C-alpha cells in the first residue's frame, strides 16, 4: 500500500482527522445523519474488500458489521467478522497486521470456525500487488469509514520492553499463565513441545509418551547416568527418564509455577532420590557441574541468536567426556526477521523468542566444539501436535475464558493455529540435533537400530 510518509497520504489523513473519533456508538441510531453515515461506510467497506480480494480463491469469508458477507458465504470453514468499521479503515490506511491482531484480541474483530484457515488469507494479502491508482482509490474509500481511539483492554497481557531481555521475566510472561490453564489442553504428562506420532490417528497422550521415550533412546540413557534437562517444564522428561531408564535427573526452569508443579509431582511419585527440579538459569550452573547427558526440549527458542555462543559453550562445559547432548528446538527458513508476525509474537506470546535456520544452529554448535551425530526434522509432527492443542483449547473455551480472560484465550488460539499453518507449509520446522564432544570417541552404535528398540525397564 502507499507509504504514509508520502505527500498524498498525509493530505488524505489530515483531511480525515476531523472524523477520527466519530464512531457509530457516539450517534443516536434514529438520527438521519447517523443512518446516512452508516450506509456510506457500509457501502465503502463492501467495495474495499471486493476490490482487494477479487482474485482470492481461498477458504476464508469476511462478514461486515451489517451482518452481510463482503467475501464468501456462511458455508466457509473460517469467517472473519469486522464488528467495527474503524478496524477496516485502520487496516487500509496503516496496513498494520499487528493492529488487526490486537483488534481481534479486543473483540472488535471475531474469527469464527477454523482459525488456521485465516493464515491462508494472510499469505494472500502479503503477496498482493495493487496498482498505485487503485491504492489511492482504496485509501479515499477508507476515509469514508469512521475511526475511533484505540483504547484497548489488552495492555495487561502485552509484554513490556523489560521482559524482552532473555530473563526470568520473559519466561514468566509465557509459562506462568497458570498450570491449570495448560492442563486444559496439554497431554497427561504436561509436555509442551512437539509430540512424536506414529500416525494421524494416534492420541496426543500416546504420541507424547513416544516422544519422551524416543529422546531417552536417542541419548542412549543407561541406569546410574546423570541427566541435565535445561528448561525442564513441568518435569515430564526428567521423571520419565528416572522411572524408565534409571538415571539421576536434574531439571532447571525459570518458571516458578512449573517448578512448583514438577516438585509436587516428584514428591507424589516418590522420586525425591532420583529427580531434582529447581529454579535456575542455565548460565548459573556451577563451574564444576558435570553430567553424562544434557537435553533441552522446547526451551531453545528463548535463547536469542546473540546468546548461542554462551548457551552452547555452557553445555559443552557441563557435558562429561563421552557424553551426549540433544537439542530440540524450533527453526525457520529465513532466520529471525522483524515482521508483523514476529512483532505480535514478541509482544504477546514469547517476549524474547527468536528463531534461526538449522544451518546456523549446527554451525554454532560446531563452533562451540560439538560433533554433530544426528539431525532429525519433526515438522509434520508439530503441526499435528498444535492441532490437538487447538482442539482441546476450543473444547474448554468457557473454562479457559473464565480462568484467564477472553483476550488471553484469543492470544493462544491465534498463536497456536497460526503456528500449525506455518509448520504445515514449511516456513518453520523443529529439529532434534544430537551431538557429542568433538574429537572424542563416539558412544553411539554404527547404526540407528537402537533408536527403534524399547528402552530398558528399570
Residue 69: pLDDT band (50, 70, 90) is very high
Identify the weakest region by mean pLDDT among 114-128, 338-352, 368-382: 338-352
What tens digit of pLDDT does each residue of 72-129 get? Answer: 999 999 999 999 898 999 888 877 777 888 899 989 999 999 999 999 888 888 888 8
Query: Three-class SS of residue 418?
Result: helix
Q: What's the pLDDT at 174?
A: 60
**Separation CA 422–CA 119 (nearest Å):** 8
Name the residue among 155, 77, 105, 107 with its Cα closest to residue 412.
105
Residue 36: pLDDT band (50, 70, 90) is confident
The residue to which cell 467495495 is assigned: 47
**Separation CA 361–CA 330 (nearest Å):** 11
Q: What's the pLDDT at 204?
A: 98
Which run of H or E residues covers position 71?
strand 69-71
The Cβ of residue 179 has, within 10 Å, a number of other Cβ atoms equal to 17
Q: Look at residue 337 and tell me whether its pLDDT is greater than 70.
A: yes
- 234, 262 Cβ separation under 8 angstroms: yes
The Cβ of residue 348 has, within 10 Å, a number of other Cβ atoms equal to 25
Q: What's the pLDDT at 12?
A: 37
The residue to which cell 536417542 is assigned: 218
Supply 333's cell numbers.
527458513
**What are the structural domains, with CATH classification, of the chain?**
7-152 (3.30.1050), 163-452 (3.40.50.150)
Return phi, psi of residue 128, to 5°.
Answer: -70, 135
The residue to which cell 467497506 is assigned: 45
> Which comes out higher in pLDDT, residue 364 or 106?
364
Q: What's the pLDDT at 21?
A: 38
Contacts of 448 (CB under 8 A, 6+ apart): 374
Q: What's the pLDDT at 24?
A: 45
Distances (CA, A) of 174 to 185, 292, 414: 15, 30, 15
What mean pLDDT do residues 251-256 have? 94
> Which comes out higher in pLDDT, residue 401 or 442?
401
Most confident of the following: 16-30, 38-52, 132-146, 253-267:
253-267
What tens digit of pLDDT does each residue of 379-437 get? Answer: 999 999 999 999 999 999 999 999 999 999 999 999 999 999 999 999 999 999 999 99
Return phi, psi of residue 431, to 5°.
Answer: -125, 140
Q: Look at residue 147 and tell me whether its pLDDT is greater than 90.
A: no
Q: Look at residue 351 and tell me whether its pLDDT is greater than 70.
A: yes
Q: What's the pLDDT at 8?
A: 39
- 175, 232 Cβ separation under 8 angstroms: no
- Bridge partners of 77, per DSSP, are none
Q: What's the pLDDT at 219?
A: 97
DSSP assignment string, 236-282? HHHHHHHHHH--EEEEEES-HHHHHHHHHHHHHTT-TTTEEEEE--G
Residue 4: pLDDT band (50, 70, 90) is very low
**Separation CA 78–CA 60 (nearest Å):** 5
Could you tell me what percent of the chain has a pLDDT over 90?
A: 62
Mean of all residue pLDDT scores within the chain: 87
Q: Look at residue 323 and tell me whether its pLDDT is greater than 60.
A: yes
What tens digit of pLDDT does each residue of 296-316 get? Answer: 999 988 888 999 999 999 999
Q: What's the pLDDT at 98?
A: 79
The residue to which cell 441510531 is assigned: 29
Identify the weakest region by mean pLDDT among 25-34, 73-82, 229-238, 387-396: 25-34
Amino acid at each position: 500500500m502507499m507509504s504514509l510518509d508520502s505527500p498524498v497520504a498525509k493530505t488524505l489523513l489530515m483531511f480525515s482527522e476531523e472524523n477520527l473519533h466519530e464512531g457509530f456508538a457516539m450517534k443516536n441510531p434514529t438520527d438521519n445523519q447517523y443512518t446516512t453515515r452508516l450506509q456510506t461506510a457500509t457501502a465503502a467497506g463492501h467495495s474495499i474488500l471486493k476490490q482487494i480480494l477479487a482474485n482470492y480463491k481461498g477458504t476464508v469469508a469476511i462478514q461486515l458489521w451489517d451482518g452481510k458477507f463482503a467475501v464468501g458465504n456462511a458455508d466457509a470453514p473460517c469467517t472473519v467478522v469486522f464488528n467495527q468499521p474503524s478496524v477496516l479503515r485502520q487496516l487500509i490506511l496503516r496496513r498494520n497486521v499487528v493492529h488487526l491482531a490486537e483488534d481481534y484480541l479486543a473483540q472488535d474483530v471475531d474469527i469464527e470456525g477454523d482459525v488456521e484457515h485465516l493464515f491462508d488469507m494472510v499469505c494472500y494479502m502479503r503477496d498482493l500487488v495493487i496498482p498505485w491508482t487503485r491504492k489511492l482509490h482504496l485509501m479515499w474509500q477508507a476515509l469514508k469509514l469512521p475511526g475511533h481511539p484505540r483504547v484497548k483492554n489488552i495492555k495487561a497481557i502485552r509484554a513490556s520492553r523489560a521482559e524482552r531481555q532473555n530473563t526470568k521475566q520473559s519466561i514468566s510472561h509465557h509459562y506462568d499463565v497458570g498450570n491449570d490453564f495448560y492442563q486444559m489442553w496439554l497431554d497427561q504428562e504436561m509436555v509442551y513441545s512437539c509430540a512424536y506420532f506414529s500416525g494421524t490417528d494416534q492420541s496426543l497422550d500416546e504420541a507424547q509418551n513416544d516422544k519422551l521415550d524416543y529422546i531417552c533412546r536417542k541419548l542412549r540413557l543407561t541406569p546410574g547416568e546423570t541427566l541435565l534437562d535445561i528448561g525442564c517444564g513441568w518435569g515430564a522428561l526428567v521423571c520419565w527418564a528416572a522411572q524408565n531408564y534409571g538415571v539421576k535427573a536434574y531439571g532447571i526452569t525459570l518458571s516458578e509455577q512449573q517448578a512448583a508443579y514438577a516438585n509436587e509431582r516428584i514428591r507424589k511419585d516418590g522420586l525425591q532420590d532420583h529427580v531434582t527440579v529447581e529454579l535456575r538459569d542455565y548460565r548459573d550452573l556451577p563451574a564444576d557441574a558435570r553430567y553424562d547427558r544434557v537435553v533441552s526440549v522446547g526451551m531453545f527458542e528463548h535463547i536469542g541468536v546473540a546468546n548461542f555462543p554462551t548457551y552452547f559453550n555452557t553445555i559443552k562445559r557441563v557435558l562429561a567426556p563421552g557424553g551426549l547432548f540433544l537439542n530440540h528446538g524450533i527453526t525457520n527458513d529465513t532466520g529471525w526477521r522483524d515482521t508483523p508476525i514476529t512483532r505480535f509474537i514478541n509482544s504477546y506470546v514469547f517476549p524474547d523468542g527468536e528463531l534461526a535456520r538449522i544451518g546456523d544452529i549446527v554451525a554454532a554448535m560446531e563452533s562451540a566444539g560439538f560433533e554433530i551425530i544426528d539431525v532429525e526434522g519433526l515438522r509434520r509432527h508439530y503441526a499435528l501436535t498444535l492441532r490437538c492443542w487447538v482442539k482441546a483449547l476450543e473444547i474448554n473455551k468457557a473454562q479457559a475464558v473464565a480462568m484467564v480472560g477472553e483476550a488471553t484465550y484469543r492470544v493462544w488460539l491465534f498463536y497456536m493455529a497460526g503456528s500449525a499453518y506455518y509448520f504445515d507449509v514449511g516456513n518453520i520446522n523443529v529439529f532434534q540435533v544430537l551431538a557429542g564432544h568433538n574429537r572424542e570417541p563416539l558412544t553411539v552404535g554404527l547404526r540407528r537400530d537402537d533408536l527403534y528398540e524399547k528402552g530398558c525397564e528399570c
